[in-house]
Amino acid sequence: LYTSTMMLMFAILVSAKQYVGHPIECFVPAQFTRAMEQYTENYCWVQNTYWIPFQAKALAQDLIPHRLDDRERRQIGYYQWVPFVLAVAALMFHIPSSIWRMLSNQSGLNASLVLQLACQEQNVDPLVRNKTIDILARHIDDALMYQREHGATKKNIYIFAVIRIGKFYGAYVATVYVFIKTLHLCNVILQFLLLNSFLETADYPLFGAHVLYDLLLVRNSMQLFLNSYYTEEDPGAAQMEYEYHSLQ
């Protein structure tokens, strides 16, 4: 829940920057008017830019690619889609918790109530602790009784047979819990793969992990940090050209 909420907040912040503020700022010729500058920035944002090296001499003409295929190879085309990707990531993080609530409610066991009663501070008192244990034991016993009476006769359709087997043998909640944890793990792995594909990080199959690994091992950490983050995948500066005709 916290992860999906955080990702959704980031999506809103980025989209506000893109659609309300100025998502890109361009260096334009001095003779450009304000209207021409705004048009240039809007055009550069819609059309993909291409990456240039992060050095002070990067603006030299010999370092700017002039061939079309070189520009296409350095093309940066993901910035416009960042809010949508963050929103999809938030949805993917929220799906396992929704499935958990949907499946756990069928067990007759109120897992959140059990955790709340078991972890309350009043359990330090032996009398309160014994009373809490009695309440939890009766609640769990009622849930198991419900499963024994209705689990074998109730005809529900389950996506995964292992969940149905767990319900028949009294291990429904544990089976669902392990299943949801597996979903969380698969979701994290899938999001790593999708993020690397989205960023097109060919040199860094796991971009964040490789950057942290290099920062820990390489002596010149600050320079490596700049070189790692201001690269083709996450540029500090980008360039594009377009033709305009003056009527003067």
Domain ranges of the chain: 92-198
Residue 151 has pLDDT above 60, yes or no: no
Give the confidence band of 182 by pLDDT, cuts at 50, 70, 90: very high
Instruction: Please tell me the distance from the alpha carbon of residue 44 to that of residue 239, in angstroms, as a whole number.
Output: 9
Query: Which tens digit of pLDDT belongs to each residue from 204-234?
Result: 666 667 767 767 765 444 454 445 444 444 4
**Beta-carbon neighbour count of residue 198 at 10 Å?**
15
Query: Which tens digit of pLDDT belongs to each residue from 70-91?
Result: 666 666 767 788 888 889 999 9
The whole-number average pLDDT for the span 228-243 is: 50
Instruction: Please tell me the distance from the alpha carbon of residue 181 to that of residue 148, in angstroms, as a whole number.
Output: 25
Instruction: Please tell me the distance from the alpha carbon of residue 105 to that of residue 67, in angstroms, as a whole number.
Output: 61
Question: What sign does the dihedral 234-239-242-245 (CA atoms) show?
Answer: positive
**Beta-carbon neighbour count of residue 4 at 10 Å?**
19
Residue 43 has pLDDT above 70, yes or no: yes
The whole-number average pLDDT for the span 117-136 is: 85
Q: Which two tokens stand for residue 17?
A: 């920057």
Higher pLDDT, 244 or 42: 42
Strands (E), 49-198: 49-51, 75-76
Higher pLDDT, 127 or 198: 127
- Tell me if the pTM is above 0.85: no
